[in-house]
Amino acid sequence: MRVLGIETSCDDTGVAVYDSDRGLLAHKLASQLQTHGPYGGVVPELAARDHIRVLNPLVSLVLDESGGRHVDGVAYTVGPGLASALLVGAAFGRALAFGWGVPAAGIHHMEGHLLAPMLEEDRPEFPFLALLVSGGHSLLVDVQGIGLYQLLGTTRDDAVGEAFDKTAKLLGLSYPGGPAIAQAAQKGNPDRFHFPRPMTNRPGFDFSFSGLKTYARNIVEGLELNDQTVADVAWAFQDAAIDTLIIKSLRALDAHRHQCLVIGGGVGANIELRRRLGSLAKSHGFSLYYPRSQFCTDNGAMIAYAGWIRLKGGQRDRLGFSVRPRWPLTDLAPIA
């Protein structure tokens, strides 16, 4: 089965074709960095307009590259995300499926992230613990199978990616903040600042990241912001954010007797997070899976893959469509 996947939940237009026999045939991403960069964050209306502009040519390119115009199904993100941006991909995808006479499947963006490691050769097997960390979510999920998701922990305020973005902004770094902080941190002095590890001394698996941003602001206010100070604050912020994610993940692995940890979402591209988890996996004896960096951040491949899984499982969306800007992952139906 060959599935076209369309992702437009935020500021990246992602398109891909996944073939259940041959794997990923083609994938492309149109980034809107230049559109939103000057605003230091995503402007929803501009995001939607950019999706409209690039979607048609991008789909054409990807179909050509996949070796043919025939697909057996179309999948598109219907939530969670920015309503106006979601509407573009959902309307386009649903219309294509109708025009081609093939089934359509609206996909949950975070299920896309959760399944993205399955695009790699070395893939996890159920059950596992998933740490999903993006610009909008910080989730620890017990995953027993497709749609069998139990939410163990979530953020009480900012998502971890959002905290990276906001801290980067106050340090005068470019958007998106995650990669900018990671880069600045490389030259940071590890001994200059120490940030707290929020909520780690409380039981449970919930996160809270807005305090880290405030902590950074308080430090920065009393200082001259030269390159070294930016690097030092970036290092200390990243250290605390990563440490917090790791402490809670290890706790959840232990409490729920999981031997496998799966990472997904944009913050999963963070090299330092991967490095530390990699050595902990060895010392603690759990297996660790994540997609290549470009499939951690938003992309069409994960939507095409999740689309194949859902279509294979019998999902058939009606002709009308709607988007779900807020949509708990735990609302998804299990499939056999």
For CA atoms 155, 12, 263, 268, give the dihedral sign: negative
* Residues present in the chain in total: 336
Q: Strand, coil or helix: what is 304? A: helix
In the set 161, 198, 300, 307, which binds ligand KG4 (CB under 6 A)?
A: 161
Task: Indicate the residue among 147 and 268 with the shorter CB distance to ligand KG4.
Answer: 268
CA 86 to chain centroid? 15
The entry of Zn ion, ligand KG4, none near residue 26 (CB within 5 to 8 angstroms by kind) is none
Q: Is 7 in the site for ligand KG4 (CB under 6 A)?
A: no
Please enumerate in sequence order all residues whose Cβ is within 8 A of that of 297, keeping only pairs 6 or more positions apart, or say none: 12, 266, 269
CB of 298 to Zn ion, least distance (A): 4
In the set 18, 92, 128, 164, which binds ligand KG4 (CB under 6 A)?
A: 164
The entry of Zn ion, ligand KG4, none near residue 291 (CB within 5 to 8 angstroms by kind) is none
The entry of ligand KG4, Zn ion, none near residue 93 (CB within 5 to 8 angstroms by kind) is none
Q: Is 176 in the site for ligand KG4 (CB under 6 A)?
A: yes
Task: Indicate the residue among 102 and 295 with the shorter CB distance to ligand KG4.
Answer: 295
How far apart, in Å, are the Cα atoms of 32 and each of 29, 35, 53, 88, 95?
A: 10, 5, 11, 15, 24
The entry of Zn ion, ligand KG4, none near residue 198 (CB within 5 to 8 angstroms by kind) is none
Task: Indicate the residue among 177 and 188 with the shorter CB distance to ligand KG4.
Answer: 177
Q: Is 14 in the site for ligand KG4 (CB under 6 A)?
A: no
Contact predicate 153/193, CB 8 Å:
no
DSSP, residue by residue, 313-335:
TT----SS----SS--GGGSPP-
Q: Is 111 in the site for ligand KG4 (CB under 6 A)?
A: no
Per CB under 5 A, residues contacting Zn ion are 134, 298
Q: How far apart are CA 76 and CA 56, in angstroms?
A: 14
Q: Is 8 in the site for ligand KG4 (CB under 6 A)?
A: no
Please enumerate in sequence order all residues whose Cβ is within 8 A of that of 334, keeping only pairs 6 or more positions apart, or say none: 145, 146, 147, 148
In the set 135, 147, 153, 198, which binds ligand KG4 (CB under 6 A)?
A: 135
Q: How far apart are CA 303 and CA 110, in angstroms?
A: 10
Residue 271, phi-psi category: left (phi > 0), alpha (psi -120 to 50), beta (remainder): alpha
Q: Is 142 in the site for ligand KG4 (CB under 6 A)?
A: no
In the set 4, 269, 303, 332, which binds ligand KG4 (CB under 6 A)?
A: 269
Query: Which residues of the shown chain bind ligand KG4 in the complex (CB under 6 A)?
Result: 10, 134-136, 161-162, 164-165, 176-179, 182, 265-267, 269-270, 297-298
